[in-house]
Structure 1
């Protein structure tokens, strides 16, 4: 009887996967018939999100060139379906090459699923700590026969969208996980605290992670913290030994990760391992599709002394609810004071969120409780508030990852906020300085920082998109869906 009960999840999973494969087959058969109707959908194409653009003809050629006409599933097939359905626009041929690479990886994973131990029901159910103790007696290592993929390129080129497209096509019974890099590292630090006292806690943590997900998709790989840099080398050495396959996106090439960071020589072995276990591909588009959205439709207000105006807008969003001051629990036993909050909306002065010792953990916890942030008084960023600039970049990253809405007042538009932050290369290109007192005063605020210099483009791009009509419409739909789901749950509870 126990064996029968234990087999139920496997039967359900097999049935779901069988249905999924049938769906992929029907999509492929319907593609040719739908192609004749595609010209009628030209107007619909123009309504798709610009970050999903790709040239239809180039895509179809890529699909046939990758695996012939026998493909029944994968990112290329799904992309073709979306184009024919009018869900995507014509556009960037640079993304076609990346789709070929993702389709190649998908095909290799399907072909080697058993040897890669991807099936979560066929995987060992031993506790990770017991497996670690056993490995101390009989050392074992298992490198995956399939290499991962490291995608990097400029902001707004569709890296995250392409990785999500790949991830969502993977079979439902695989050990897989898609997570933002900030969130991943928070999870690692939390696990390390749980295993304090073990001789090698990183090996235990790596065992737990690989037991849960042998295929790990990390979005926005960006190393700025020395503690993370020191952890990554040993952590991924254990993960790769356990057969982990890494798919990641980043704005930086592998050789430029943690550039100029403290004790970077201890981080360099990780870069070598990353390049050995991953195919590195650059997405070379020169277009930032986020900036093609309908900008200046949202809640980004430039000017001074706009506190009263911002508060009025905030109260409009709160509606009939009464905002109040309270503490919310974030993560790791920490709490965060919210000046005013109600109905999923929170109000903060810039200093309270970015000029205090807060980090990604606090921000992730905040946006698990709130879907909208009113942020008052974002200053122009430079040398005098460099630490706050780092926190603001992290805050925007976390908001974007959680699809949160931003209502803010600032001293300048997104580009102007970061005009004083430059990379070393940009600083070297700047013209010779004059001896005038005003020019010297201006130069004293210039912040030469490679990490911030690279991160600023991503932040400007995301602030622009978060201010667009498309983003805000998507946010409204998301909130409506959450409220509808909550209402249904309450109704079921009352009936019960």
Structure 2
């Protein structure tokens, strides 16, 4: 009875928080249902930070600094932001890369996004003590992490932490979102409590932690404690929600994290309002969207250029045609340094195993159906790329309504591969664009001939109308193009400390 009453009280408190959060405007944040009042603003440019208090601070029980980034898009970066050797931050690093020839100048969309990142960078520096970014000073105030047992004990009462608004950077594929966020993250002091992680890895860690804390009264509160102790600044790449379980977890988890002062910086292909669009029980996810928009500045980065496709000539890793499978196996034999491929068993995360048909010298070869038609997910693919640096996939088909689940797994596989900078080669039924030509978002569905279920045309019947896949396919096509470039192969060699094998970069395709 006591546990039931405790759960009921917690549900009522959480419901009240949700009602308060959902009513908040995008640029201010409060967890109390007090009448609207003037909130403090912080107007930030790339060169200076000034506070303009229009009213008192937020309630004493939750001191949250409300932030507004004032970013001018009308002035050229080269004209307005001269960088000296003493300046720091993502804006200065961007200028240095342009000066060295590593990046091309003149992308106004990237420049606008950089000003927003630089603004956040400046705010974090000016409030690093208040928000607990410096690890040493934070530990001196809060004490050591304690014993393993104490870390599993739920907090009876959490101490509200001051925080600043984060940044939610969204836009199309290949616009440089990940590069800009990484530039921002790498320029921050190494002594700060910060973490950069891909969304798939983040959710895998959350699920793993929930398994260990499921006996606690509120496992998500315990997980939030662990995350907030390790990092107050959380940078998540490729934020996306396609699973109902993840949607429900994210809602409550970030409610806990934001209360603990977590600052979120994330990239995504979708505006917050489009997250988990059309998903099951989405109404339970809507409070998270409201919370996200109140705690993050939402900034769109647009571009007419997909930088992933501005790469060198094809490197012979993507095979199409009647002899594609034969060429793939020949290439696989060339990259294994003479080691004979053999079947093996790969131990994945959480005690799972996966049968690998052929493996040698860190390379694995699978048939498409063995990885994408089986009940596998992001956690399994992450475990696979922790064991192998190169994947060869034989027989990638065209996607449509007949293999929707396989299409989802394939896009997830490519995402995980790309995040791990692994090498990928495949034989496919068609080019990357043609693989997904029948997968359409709802907005494009009227452009296609729509027929009834009694249609005798199999081409029309196989069209797949799916909003999530309709967005995700562009990223997958872009990445399939990039991984076939010399630049990506060089990055792979650096990441795995391997000298390029001439046989692996031939042009016989």
- The answer as to 2:328 corresponding to 1:313 is no
Counterpart of 1:142 (choices 153, 161, 169) is 161
Could you tell me how far 1:289 is from its partner in structure 2? 1.0
Show the counterpart of 2:95: 80
Show the counterpart of 2:36: none
- The answer as to 2:419 corresponding to 1:401 is yes
Could you tell me how far 1:328 is from its partner in structure 2? 1.1
Measure, in 2, the Cα distance between the counterparts of 1:134 and 1:313.
54
- The answer as to 2:480 corresponding to 1:463 is yes
Measure, in 2, the Cα distance between the counterparts of 1:297 and 1:111.
47
Could you tell me how far 1:476 is from its partner in structure 2? 3.0
- Size of the aligned set, in residue pairs, is 422
- CA deviation vs aligned residue, 1:52-82 (integer Å, no higher than 9, x gap): xxxxx93333425xxx979721011111122
Mapping for residues 20-39 of structure 1, pairs under 5 Å: none
Q: Please state whether the residue corresponding to 2:76 is helix, strand or coil.
A: helix
* CA spacing shift, 1:482–1:179, aligned 2, 3 Å: farther
Could you tell me how far 1:91 is from its partner in structure 2? 3.5
- CA deviation vs aligned residue, 1:1-39 (integer Å, no higher than 9, x gap): xxxxxxxxxxxxxxxxxxxxxxxxxxxxxxxxxxxxxxx
Could you tell me how far 1:394 is from its partner in structure 2? 0.2
Measure, in 2, the Cα distance between the counterparts of 1:382 and 1:234.
35
Measure, in 2, the Cα distance between the counterparts of 1:404 and 1:78.
26
Show the counterpart of 2:247: 229
Could you tell me how far 1:296 is from its partner in structure 2? 2.6
Could you tell me how far 1:369 is from its partner in structure 2? 1.2
Show the counterpart of 1:291: 309
Counterpart of 2:117 (choices 83, 102, 110) is 102
Show the counterpart of 1:202: 220
- The answer as to 2:489 corresponding to 1:472 is yes
Measure, in 2, the Cα distance between the counterparts of 1:295 and 1:79.
26
- CA deviation vs aligned residue, 1:149-189 (integer Å, no higher than 9, x gap): 00000000000000000000001110000000000000000
CA contact (8 A) 2:154 2:217 kept: no
CA contact (8 A) 2:169 2:177 kept: yes
Measure, in 2, the Cα distance between the counterparts of 1:340 and 1:147.
49
Q: Please state whether the residue corresponding to 1:150 is helix, strand or coil.
A: strand
Show the counterpart of 2:465: 448
Could you tell me how far 1:404 is from its partner in structure 2? 1.0
Show the counterpart of 1:419: 437
In terms of fraction of residues, the more helix-rich structure is: 1
Measure, in 2, the Cα distance between the counterparts of 1:185 and 1:122.
29
Measure, in 2, the Cα distance between the counterparts of 1:317 and 1:91.
39
Show the counterpart of 2:372: 354
- CA deviation vs aligned residue, 1:309-364 (integer Å, no higher than 9, x gap): 22111011112212111111111111111110011110000000000000111111
Could you tell me how far 1:306 is from its partner in structure 2? 3.3
Show the counterpart of 2:21: none
Show the counterpart of 2:45: none
Show the counterpart of 1:12: none
- The answer as to 2:340 corresponding to 1:329 is no
Q: Please state whether the residue corresponding to 1:135 is helix, strand or coil.
A: coil
Could you tell me how far 1:197 is from its partner in structure 2? 0.8
- The answer as to 2:251 corresponding to 1:238 is no
CA contact (8 A) 2:400 2:463 kept: yes
- CA deviation vs aligned residue, 1:394-431 (integer Å, no higher than 9, x gap): 00000110111111100000000001100111112324
- Gaps spanning 5+ residues in structure 1: where? 1-56, 484-496
Q: Please state whether the residue corresponding to 1:178 is helix, strand or coil.
A: strand
Measure, in 2, the Cα distance between the counterparts of 1:248 and 1:111.
21
CA contact (8 A) 1:295 1:465 kept: no
Show the counterpart of 2:360: 342
Could you tell me how far 1:270 is from its partner in structure 2? 0.2
Alignment RMSD: 2.3
Counterpart of 2:132 (choices 117, 125, 146) is 117
- CA deviation vs aligned residue, 1:30-51 (integer Å, no higher than 9, x gap): xxxxxxxxxxxxxxxxxxxxxx
Measure, in 2, the Cα distance between the counterparts of 1:134 and 1:224.
29
* CA spacing shift, 1:311–1:111, aligned 2, 3 Å: same
Measure, in 1, the Cα distance between the counterparts of 2:81 and 2:293.
27
- CA deviation vs aligned residue, 1:119-174 (integer Å, no higher than 9, x gap): 112223234874785731x4432241x10000000000000000000000001110
CA contact (8 A) 1:176 1:212 kept: yes
TM-score normalised by length of structure 1: 0.81
Could you tell me how far 1:84 is from its partner in structure 2? 1.8
Measure, in 2, the Cα distance between the counterparts of 1:311 and 1:262.
42
Once structures 1 and 2 are overlaid, which stretch shifts more, 451-460 or 307-316?
307-316
Could you tell me how far 1:303 is from its partner in structure 2? 1.9
Mapping for residues 475-486 of structure 1, pairs under 5 Å: 475-481=492-498
CA contact (8 A) 2:152 2:213 kept: no
TM-score normalised by length of structure 2: 0.79
Show the counterpart of 2:321: 303
Counterpart of 1:126 (choices 106, 124, 145) is 145
